Chains A and B, each alone.
Chain A
């Protein structure tokens, strides 16, 4: 069967073969419930503990700071709603470019007595220090700002932002889902700077869907979202998804071990792509900032992004328009709107995100498909005009 070339790794990634191999026994001859006291249960408990250790090492945390969840969205919701339920309602401040799982959770809280404050970004996708200081003057109780943006790949200096926020009594959360495995993430350093919680997930880095973690400073007391058997230090009840957690642990370990070499390889691929994009006349977003090495978000003026990605798919290249989670949403990207990009240009936005298996000739192929498609769409527009 014909398979398009996959260039949408910020949406999800294939499971790394070594990760699959580690998971298979837990879908086969080892099936115990980690809460069972017999040997079947005990071996499952050891597997979960071993995965917890691997995740902790990969993100620079202590194993007791890892709370497994079903995904990044749940981990984001757990921190924000869990913290909100254990503090008196006040101001919740989030970045203007956050993932929908942070935006929607914060919006729900704003209906429950919390005042929602969005922190504006500059055209480069970063907070200006005046906007940040202004946000802190409102004495927020909760702050959530992502490490790296899923659409643009723009990276924020979370340690510096958190250090400034220490003057408030805010609990500081950061969504590290897109940064994990692409940039070094060290929770201990972030925690010393004032970060209390960090979300990481497996399926963006060669792990399976269905397992993620909230890395949590134990001084922070969250109300659990899910009550029951008391798993995960009572913060997240429910029988552990052992196979997926085992996969998450190994995926973290492997992705973090190859960060340095992958960062060089991926940024070379991106440079190759963006040299070609410049030649074709595209606008690339967020280039004035440090970005994830694998992510390029761009638009051709006057060309609809949905149409373009549809044609690219038929030409054999799987890319995204906006973020996967909001692809059903006809509104242009809230991230680009926050960066001051016009709605017209934002409707053209296309995201390319590379992964493990992509190679230079695929980038060249994508560029020639883009050239041909953009050329023919421009031709149509000219005729219609």
Chain B
């Protein structure tokens, strides 16, 4: 048995060899910029991006139009929270609810929104780690006009 055995798959995982095989051609011969509209290098890259969008959408049962690529999940969390909070601040109020057990990418983003004048509720969790639904409902009651 070769040590160390990797037992940290929640931190990151090896790239599946089939995934690497699919990626490599797009580094080498299919290298176009998907924004290039005037030649086949660009079209081929755009087609690949759209194929991947359909694959991700299928996995999470979403419409491909609902997929926004980012550089990573930290950026996605930031985009969702900051983007929505700023966009709706004037119409839906400035109150953000999150849970104390969230990832740093969420908690730090909410802290930053607090510095920008938003109010935040950090819900406790029950002993089993799940959200206390009563506390969640109570917090929701303080958001005036969110559609329910």
Contacts and interface: CB of A to CB of B under 8 A. Distances in A.
A70 B74 contact: no
A318 B41 contact: yes
B28 interface: yes
A229 B104 CA distance: 6
Contacts of A168: none
A237 B106 CA distance: 11
B72 interface: yes
Among the interface residues A8, A17, A36, which one has the most CB atoms of the partner chain B within 10 A?
Answer: A8
Contacts of B40: 4, 313, 318
B30 to A, nearest CB: 9
B108 A227 contact: yes
B39 A237 contact: no
Contacts of A114: none
B124 to A, nearest CB: 22
Contacts of B73: 238
A55 interface: no
Contact of B74 (A12, A228, A313, A328): A228
Interface stretch (B19-27, B54-62, B93-101, B132-140): B19-27
Contacts of B28: 14-15, 17, 20
Interface string B67-101: 00001111101100000000000000000000000
Query: Interface size bucket, B side?
Result: 35 or more
A33 B8 CA distance: 9
B33 A324 contact: yes
Contacts of B78: 225-228, 237
B72 A238 contact: yes
B11 interface: yes
Interface residues of A, number: 55
Interface in A307-343: 309-310, 313, 318-321, 324-325, 327-328
A327 B38 contact: yes
Contacts of B14: 28-29, 31
Interface string A140-160: 000000000000000000000
A123 interface: no
Interface in A227-241: 227-230, 237-239, 241
B71 A28 contact: no
B71 A210 contact: yes
Interface in B31-54: 31-33, 35-42
